């Protein structure tokens, strides 16, 4: 992961990239996530069901993708409790091949600063193979 600061806000400006990471997800991780989340929808583990409903293959849980992306911000901050708001739009699924894994690239950039509130809006670009999988992904963080 690239990390350009400690999330204190002292040296932040709009447009500054604060973190970058690639996160991989394979079928075994999907099964573990299903157990932890209680989401056993077969589109996340059964290729036959996934393709029968028009998906390209088994897909990662949207909430896993959302969590993996904000994890990059939480790690940069050093404290997940400093994420005070987080929102995304799901724009496309993350197909997970077997064998192999999907690689989700997350880039976190300062989108806005609010000195009075002591917060920053961190804009996330979350993509797989160059295609965005989350849109309008934004985290408001306490500096």
Q: Which domain holds residue 44?
A: 2-142
Where do runs of H (alpha helix) occur along the chain? 27-37, 47-52, 62-77
- Domains held by the chain: number: 1
**How many separate helices (H) and strands (E) can be counted in the chain?**
3, 6
Asked if residues 34 and 40 have their Cβ atoms less than 8 Å apart, the reply is yes
Per-residue pLDDT at 5: 52
Residue 16 maps to which CATH number?
3.10.129.10
Q: Is the dihedral of CA 15, 70, 57, 99 positive or negative?
A: positive
Phi (first) and psi of residue 60, to 5 degrees = -70, 150
- What's the whole-model pTM score? 0.91
Tens-place pLDDT, residues 1-47: 454 455 666 789 999 999 999 999 999 999 999 999 999 999 999 99
CA atoms within 13 A on the CB side of 95: 12
Start-to-end C-alpha separation, the chain: 20
Per-residue pLDDT at 8: 62
Per-residue pLDDT at 96: 98
Nearest Cα residue to 25 out of 77, 67, 78: 67
CA distance 119 to 84: 9
Apex 24 CA angle, 20 and 28, nearest 5: 155
Tens-place pLDDT, residues 85-131: 999 999 999 999 999 999 999 999 999 999 999 999 999 999 999 99
Confidence of residue 50 (pLDDT cuts 50, 70, 90): very high
Nearest Cα residue to 69 out of 60, 45, 118, 4: 60
Mean pLDDT of 45-61: 97
């Amino acid at each position: 992961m690239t990390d350009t600061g400690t999330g204190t806000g002292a040296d932040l400006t709009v447009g500054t990239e604060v973190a970058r990471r690639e996160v991989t997800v394979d079928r075994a991780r999907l099964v573990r996530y299903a157990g932890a989340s209680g989401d056993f929808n077969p589109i996340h583990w059964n290729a036959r069901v996934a393709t029968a409903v028009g998906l390209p293959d088994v897909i990662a849980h949207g909430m896993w993708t959302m969590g993996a992306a904000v994890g990059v911000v939480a790690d940069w901050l050093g404290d997940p409790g400093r994420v005070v708001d987080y929102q995304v739009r799901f724009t496309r699924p993350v197909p997970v091949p077997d064998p192999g894994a999907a690689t989700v690239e997350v880039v976190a950039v300062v989108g806005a600063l609010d000195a009075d509130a002591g917060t920053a809006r961190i804009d996330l670009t979350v993509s797989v193979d160059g295609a965005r999988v989350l849109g309008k992904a934004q985290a408001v963080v306490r500096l």
